C-alpha cells in the first residue's frame, strides 16, 4: 500500500473513532443516510407518505408554503396520534425576499373556561380532567392556520392541496409497527369514548396491527367540506355544528361562538445570534424560541467546541443554562395578549453573561433547583406533537410544529367528523406551582382564562448564515422540544457534525423541576456519568427524546440535505 493511501486510511480510522466517541455505537449505527435534493426542494416530516405529498407539490411548481399545507393535512390522516385538524400550533415562514414571519394558530381556551376548572372543592387538581375527555379541549386552530398561511404566501388552491389527504383517508393506509403500538398503548383511554373506539379500532374492539389498513370515511368527508368551503366550514359550517353537538352531549365547553371567533395571529419571531449565525424562532405564547436563544447566549461565553460534545464539562454548562431558562419560563412566559412577557430582557446577552458568571463562580458544581429562581429583576407543556420542515428552490422555507398535546389528544373524537380533539388545556397552569403531565411547573402568567392561548414549548426554528437560508429544524417532545432543538443546533455549529450526525446524537435534558438531568440510555459513557454525579447531579435514564425533522442547505452548492430522526418516540 502506498504511503498516501496508508495516511488516508489512518485518517479515516481516526475520524471514525472520534465519531464513535461523540455518538455511542448503538445510535451511530442507526444514523440514516441523509436525503439529498438538488432540484425543487425538500420535505422532511415524520411520515414518508406526507413527505411524498409535499415533494409532489414542489415538483408541480408549488412553493414551500403550498407544500407545508398539503403535508399538514396529510399528517392529519396518516399520523393520527399527533397530526391533526383538531389541534393547533405554530409556523415560521421565511420568504425568498429575506423576510421571516411567525404564524400562531395555537388553540384557545373556551370563553367558559375558568382558572379553577380542574380543581375539586378542596382546591386540589382532579387527576386526568385536563388531559382526557371533552373538557380538556381548547378551540382548534390548525384549519384556520393552514388557510391563513396559504392565503398570505401560497400559490396553489386549497382544494387541490387537500386531494391526497382526502383520497388516503377514504382508501386507507397501512399502519407502521410503531403506529400499531401506540393504539395498543392508548387503547384503554381511547375506548372510554364510543366514537373514538368506532373510528380507530376494529368492530370487536381489537387494535389494528402492523400493515393493516385504517380507513377514515368521516374524516374524508370533513376534509372534502374544508376543500370546498375553506375554514368557514370548520368554524361556522357543518363541521362546527358537529363539534358543538358533541360538546353539548358530553359536557364540553367549546361553543359555536368560540369557533366563530377563533383567529390566528401573525407575530414577529424572536431573533438572536450564535457564533455568526442568525437564530430565528417562535415567539410567545411559545416559550421555545426565547429560551433556545437565552441558552445559546449563555453557551456563547464558553469554548464549547473544545469542551467536546457530551463531555461532562459541556453537559454541566448546558444543564445549568437550561435550569435557569426553565425557571424563567415558569415565572414569565404566557400569552402576550394577557401578560407582559419580557422577551427582550430574557434574550439579552448581558443577562446571559450574568448567568454564565454564576455558573463559573459555582466551580463545577450543580446549582440545586431550589436555589434557582427567575433571574430577571422584574415585577411580577405535550409529547405528542409533530414537526415538519420544508425548503424550496425558490428560497422559501417553512418550519411547522403542531400538536394535539398528549398521544391522540384528549382521546375524544368528534362524532360524524372523524377527528380527535386536543387536550391542550393541560398546557395551562392548571394550578400554579403544580406540575403538568410533562413535569413542567407554571405560574400565574399561564393560568387558565377564557380566550387565552396556553404556553407552549414548540420551537419551529430557521437559521441563516450571512443572510442566506441555512437550516430548518424542529421537534415534538413537550418541554423537551427546547433542549432537543438546542442540541441539534449546537451539534451542527459547535461540533461541526453533519446534519444526520447532529440529529442522531444522544440527548440530555434539564428543565429546573424536577431537579434531574434526563438522559437517553446511550448518552453518557461511564466516566462522564461519574463526573456529573460528583458535581451533584441526579441522573435519570429514560426513553429516547424527540423526533427531529431538519433540512440543511449547503451554502456552497445550494443542495438540500434532510435528516430524519432514527428515534421512534412517537
* CA separation for the pair 85, 402 (Å, rounded): 10
* CA separation for the pair 534, 517 (Å, rounded): 13
Q: Which of 132, 385, 483, 523 is catalytic?
A: 385
- To which H or E segment does residue 565 belong? none
Cell of 428: 395551562
385 has catalytic annotation: yes
Please name every residue paired with 399 in a beta bridge, in sequence order, or none if there are none: 92, 389
Secondary structure letter of residue 447 according to DSSP: B
- CA distances to 110, 207, 245, 257, 414 from 248, rounded to whole Å, are 13, 29, 5, 13, 12
How far is C-alpha 128 from the geometric centre of its chain's CA atoms?
Answer: 23
- What are the backbone angles phi and psi of residue 421, rounded to the nearest 5°? -90, 150
275 in Cβ contact with 296 (< 8 Å)? no
Give which of 53, 55, 146, 38 is closest to 400, Cα–Cα: 146
Strand, helix or coil for residue 277: strand
First CA to last CA across the chain, in angstroms?
48
Secondary structure letter of residue 119 according to DSSP: B
How far is C-alpha 220 from the geometric centre of its chain's CA atoms?
Answer: 26
**Burial class of residue 198, CB neighbours in 10 A (0-12, 13-18, 19+):** middle
The runs of H, that is alpha helices, within 204-261 are 217-229, 231-236, 238-250, 256-261
* CA separation for the pair 100, 143 (Å, rounded): 21
- Active-site positions read 385
Amino acid at each position: 500500500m502506498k504511503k498516501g493511501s496508508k495516511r488516508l486510511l489512518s485518517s479515516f480510522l481516526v475520524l471514525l473513532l472520534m465519531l464513535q466517541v461523540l455518538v455511542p455505537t448503538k445510535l451511530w449505527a442507526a444514523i440514516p443516510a441523509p436525503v439529498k435534493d438538488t432540484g425543487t426542494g425538500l420535505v422532511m416530516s415524520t411520515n414518508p407518505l406526507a413527505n411524498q405529498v409535499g415533494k409532489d407539490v414542489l415538483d408541480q411548481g408549488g412553493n414551500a408554503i403550498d407544500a407545508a399545507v398539503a403535508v399538514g393535512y396529510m399528517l392529519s390522516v396518516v399520523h393520527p396520534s399527533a397530526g391533526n385538524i383538531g389541534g393547533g400550533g405554530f409556523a415560521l415562514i421565511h420568504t425568498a425576499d429575506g423576510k421571516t414571519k411567525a404564524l400562531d394558530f395555537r388553540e384557545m381556551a373556551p370563553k367558559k373556561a375558568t382558572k379553577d376548572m380542574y380543581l375539586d372543592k378542596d382546591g386540589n387538581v382532579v387527576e386526568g380532567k385536563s388531559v382526557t375527555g371533552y373538557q380538556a379541549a381548547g378551540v382548534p386552530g390548525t384549519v384556520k392556520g393552514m388557510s391563513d398561511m396559504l392565503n398570505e404566501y401560497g400559490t396553489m388552491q386549497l382544494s387541490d392541496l387537500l386531494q391526497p389527504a382526502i383520497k388516503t383517508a377514504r382508501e386507507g393506509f397501512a399502519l407502521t409497527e410503531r403506529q400499531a403500538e401506540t393504539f395498543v398503548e392508548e387503547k384503554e383511554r381511547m375506548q372510554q369514548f364510543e366514537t373514538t373506539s368506532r373510528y380507530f379500532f376494529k368492530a370487536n374492539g381489537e387494535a389494528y396491527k402492523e400493515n393493516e389498513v385504517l380507513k377514515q370515511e368521516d374524516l374524508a368527508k370533513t376534509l372534502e367540506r374544508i376543500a370546498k368551503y375553506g375554514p368557514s366550514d370548520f368554524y361556522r359550517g357543518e363541521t362546527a355544528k358537529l363539534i358543538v353537538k358533541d360538546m353539548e352531549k358530553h359536557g364540553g365547553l367549546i361553543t359555536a361562538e368560540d369557533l366563530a371567533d377563533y383567529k390566528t395571529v401573525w407575530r414577529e419571531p424572536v431573533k438572536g445570534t450564535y457564533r455568526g449565525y442568525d437564530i430565528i424562532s417562535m415567539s410567545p405564547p411559545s416559550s421555545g424560541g426565547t429560551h433556545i436563544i437565552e441558552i445559546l447566549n449563555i453557551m456563547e461565553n464558553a469554548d464549547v467546541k473544545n469542551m467536546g460534545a457530551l463531555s461532562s464539562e459541556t453537559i454541566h454548562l448546558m444543564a445549568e443554562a437550561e435550569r435557569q431558562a426553565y425557571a424563567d419560563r415558569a415565572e414569565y412566559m404566557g400569552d402576550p395578549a394577557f401578560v407582559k412577557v419580557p422577551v427582550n430582557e430574557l434574550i439579552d446577552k448581558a443577562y446571559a453573561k450574568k448567568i454564565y458568571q454564576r455558573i463559573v463562580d459555582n466551580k463545577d458544581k450543580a446549582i440545586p433547583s431550589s436555589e434557582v429562581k427567575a433571574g430577571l429583576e422584574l415585577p411580577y407543556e405535550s409529547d405528542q406533537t409533530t414537526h415538519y420542515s420544508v425548503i424550496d428552490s425558490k428560497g422559501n422555507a417553512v418550519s411547522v410544529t403542531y400538536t394535539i398535546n398528549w398521544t391522540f389528544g384528549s382521546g375524544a373524537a368528534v362524532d360524524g367528523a372523524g377527528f380527535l380533539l386536543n387536550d391542550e388545556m393541560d398546557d395551562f397552569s392548571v394550578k400554579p406551582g403544580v406540575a403538568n403531565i410533562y413535569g413542567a411547573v407554571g405560574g400565574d402568567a399561564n393560568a387558565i382564562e377564557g380566550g387565552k392561548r396556553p404556553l407552549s414549548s414548540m420551537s419551529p426554528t430557521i437559521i441563516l448564515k450571512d443572510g442566506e437560508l441555512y437550516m430548518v429544524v424542529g421537534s415534538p417532545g413537550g418541554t423537551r422540544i427546547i433542549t432537543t432543538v438546542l442540541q441539534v443546533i449546537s451539534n451542527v455549529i459547535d461540533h461541526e457534525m453533519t446534519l444526520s450526525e447532529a440529529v442522531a446524537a444522544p440527548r440530555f435534558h434539564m428543565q429546573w423541576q424536577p431537579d434531574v438531568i434526563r438522559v437517553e440510555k446511550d448518552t453518557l459513557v461511564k466516566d462522564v456519568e461519574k463526573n456529573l454525579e460528583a458535581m451533584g447531579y441526579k441522573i435519570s435514564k429514560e426513553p429516547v427524546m424527540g423526533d427531529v425533522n431538519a433540512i440543511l442547505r449547503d451554502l456552497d452548492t445550494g443542495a438540500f440535505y434532510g435528516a430524519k430522526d432514527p428515534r421512534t418516540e412517537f
